Amino acid sequence: MKKQINNTLFDKQLLKTSFVESFRKLDPRKMIKNPIMFTVEAVTSVMLLLLVYIAVSGDNSQGSFWYNLVVFAVLLLTVLFANFAEAIAEARGKAQADSLRKTREETPAKLVTGNGRTKTVSSSELKRGDVFECVAGDTIPADGEIIEGLASIDESAITGESAPVIREAGGDKSSVTGGTKILSDRIVVRVTVQPGESFLDKMIALVEGSSRQKTPNEIALTILLAGFTLVFVIVCATLKPFADYVGANITIAAFISLFVCLIPTTIGGLLSAIGIAGMDRALRANVITKSGKAVETAGDIDTLLLDKTGTITIGNRKATRFYPGQGNEPQSFVRMCVLSSVADPTPEGRSIVELGAGHGVQVDPLEMVGVHMVQFTAETRCSGVNMPDGTRIRKGATEAIRKIVTDSGHDFPQEIDGIVQNISANGGTPLVVCTDEQVQGVIELQDIIKTGIRERFERLRKMGVKTVMVTGDNPLTAKYIAEKAGVDDFIAEAKPEDKMEYIKREQQAGKLVAMMGDGTNDAPALAQADVGVAMNSGTQAAKEAGNMVDLDNDPTKLIEIVEIGKQLLMTRGTLTTFSIANDVAKYFAIVPALFISSIPSLQALNIMHLHSPESAILSAVIFNAIIIPLLIPLALRGVTYKPIGASALLRRNLFIYGLGGIAAPFLGIKLIDILISVFF
C-alpha cells in the first residue's frame, strides 16, 4: 500500500516557513536571479526614497504622502507575493527532503575486510568499492550492488510500497538502496557511490532545490521576459519628454506604476514556482529526475520504447505445452526439456520444470552431478546443459537453434518450422530444443497481456506519442502481441544494439525518444535516449546512464512522466499567455489616466470609465499584485492536461488564458476602482 502523501497546498507550517522566507528573498543577491522581480524591487526602493523625501521636505508635487505610501506598499506586496510563490514551492520540496533525511540516518555497516572477516563501521565511512554484509533485520548502509546471495528487502522508506521485493546477485535486480531494510536471508554488497553521493543524497538535494538548475526553456523564457522589460523601460523613458510637450504632469509614482503593470510581473513572479512544482509532481509520482530539463523533454517526447516482458505483458512467461518432434517419445522429450532447465534460474526455466512434473517427469538431484550449465546470453539467445556423458542439450530462440543445427551440417525439420509458426501466430513464444545439434521438439511459452494496457497506449497516441515494443521474440509472436496490446510498432528479435540503432534513427529524423530499462545492457540506449528512465531495482550502470529513476519499478510509469512533462510546459505557456494578455487591460487603465487631463480626446481609451487618475493607477497596481497569489495554486498544481491533441489544447488554452487574461483585468480593475473611489 502506498504511503499517504500530504497534497495540501497551504499547510499551516509551510505557510509560516514561506512567509518568513519571502522576506529573506528580498536580498538583492537572491533577487538578481529573477530579472523581472529584481526590477520591481529596484523601483520599489525608488518609491521608498520618494516617501522619505516627501516626509522630510513636505513637497506634495509628486502626490500626497499617503497616496505614495499606498503605491509603495502595493509594490512591496507584489515582490513579496512573487517571493512567496517560490518559497511555498521550495517549502513543499524541503518538507519531503526532511522525511527522506529520517531514512538517511547514520547506520552501522559490517565492512568485509581483506581476510574475510567483518568489522562494524559507520555508514559515512563507506566508500566506493568497499564490500559489506547484511543479514535479516539490518538496514542497508549505502547504495550498492549485490555480489553474493539474495534477500527480501523492505523498500517502503523509499517507494512507499509496503510489499517486500526480492533482490539477488547477478541479473538486472541486483541494485540496493541505502536506508532500506533486509527482511530475510543474507547478502554481500559492493558499494557503488562515494560518501555524500548516494541515491538518497541526490534525492534530498533535488527536492530541496539546492541542485536545481534552470532548464533551457526556463532560461529562454527569462531572457524573453527580460527583453520585454527592457522595451518597457524605453517606453516609460520616452513618455517623460512627450508628457512635458503636451503639458501633462506625470508623477514618479505614476511612471513606476505604469512600468510595473506593463512588464510581465505575473509570469515573472511565478516562473520559478512552476519549475519547482514540476519537479515536485514528478517526485510525488515516485520518479526522481536528475534535472528539470528531463521533465521538460518528457513533455515533448515523440517516440517511446518499451520492453515487452514486464511492461506490456505481466512478466514471466510460462511453459504451457511440449511438442516432441517426429519419432521422439513424448516422455523422453519432456525429460530432455526438464534436464536442460533444472539448473536454469529464470522463471521460464522453473515453469518448464513445473510443467514437466505435471507430465510425471522429475529429475533426481544426483543426476545433475557433473552437469555443466550453459547460461543464456543476449548474444547466443539460448541456454542448456552439457551432460557428463558428453550429450549437449540446448533450448532457445528458433533462429539461434537453427544456426546451431545448420552450422553442424544437420537439417532443420519442416514440421518444427510449422509448429513454431503456429505457436507464434497464437501469441506464444516457441523454444526449440536440440540434442547434439539435432532438433528434438518445441516448448511453448505464453505471455499474458496486462489488463488496461491497450487503453494506456491509446492515451499516449492521443498525446501524439508513438509507442514501440522491444522484444527478443520472433516477428510473428511480436506482431501478435503488438496488435493485441495496441502499440504502433515493434522491434522483434532485438539485441541490445538494436535499441541503440532505433533510437539514433528516430533522433536523426528530428524526434525525441524516451526509453525505460533496468539492465546493464540497457545502459547505452538509456544514455542515448533523450529521456532515459531507469528502474530503481536495476543495475547501477542503468541508473547512472538514465536521467530519471522510477522508484516503483513500474515500466508503464513513462506514461505518467510524459503527462507531467506536458503539464509543466503547458502551465508555463498558459501563464505566460495570461500574464501578457493582462497588460492589455492595464494599458487601458493607466495610459488614459496619465494624459486625459492634457489630451481630452484620450477619453475614448478610458473604456472602463475609472473614477480618477489616482484610483485608476492604484486599481491597476493592486490588481497586478493580487493576481500573483491567486495564481499560486494553479502554478503548483499545474494546468490540467487532457490528451485531446495539440491543436485542440492550444485552442482551449488560448480561449481560457488568452481571452480570460484580457477579460479578467478589465473586470478586476473596475471592481477595485469602485472600492477605492471611496478614499481617492
Residues designated as active site: 307
Cell of 431: 523454444
How far CA 565 is from CA of 21, 568, 572, in Å, comes to: 28, 5, 11
Q: How far is CA 248 from the centre of its chain?
A: 55
Residue 425 neighbours by CB under 8 Å, 6+ apart: 476, 480
- Bridge partners, residue 449, by sequence: 313
Interatomic CA distance for residues 439 and 434, integer angstroms:
4
Q: Residues 647, 606: contact at Cβ < 8 Å?
A: no
Interatomic CA distance for residues 132 and 144, integer angstroms:
9
How many CB atoms within 10 Å of residue 629?
17
Interatomic CA distance for residues 636 and 86, integer angstroms:
10
| Spatial CA neighbour of 299 closest among 541, 649, 660, 656 | 649
Residue 575 neighbours by CB under 8 Å, 6+ apart: 266, 267, 270, 274, 631, 634, 635, 639, 657
Cell of 242: 512627450
Name the 3-class secondary structure at 515: strand
Q: Residues 109, 132: contact at Cβ < 8 Å?
A: yes
Name the 3-class secondary structure at 350: helix
| Spatial CA neighbour of 303 closest among 51, 576, 514 | 514
Interatomic CA distance for residues 550 and 557, integer angstroms:
7
Q: Residues 494, 438: contact at Cβ < 8 Å?
A: no
Q: Residues 217, 162: contact at Cβ < 8 Å?
A: no
Angle at 244 between CA 243 and CA 246, to 5 degrees: 65
Residue 518 DSSP label: -
Interatomic CA distance for residues 287 and 212, integer angstroms:
15
| Spatial CA neighbour of 570 closest among 633, 650, 466, 632 | 650
| Spatial CA neighbour of 288 closest among 546, 104, 528 | 546
Q: How far is CA 667 from the centre of its chain?
A: 38
Classify residue 647 as exposed, middle or buried by CB count within 10 Å of its CB (0-12, 13-18, 19+).
exposed
How many CB atoms within 10 Å of residue 615?
22
| Spatial CA neighbour of 318 closest among 447, 176, 510, 189 | 447
Which residue in the block uniquely carries the three cell numbers 516617501?
51
Interatomic CA distance for residues 86 and 277, integer angstroms:
9
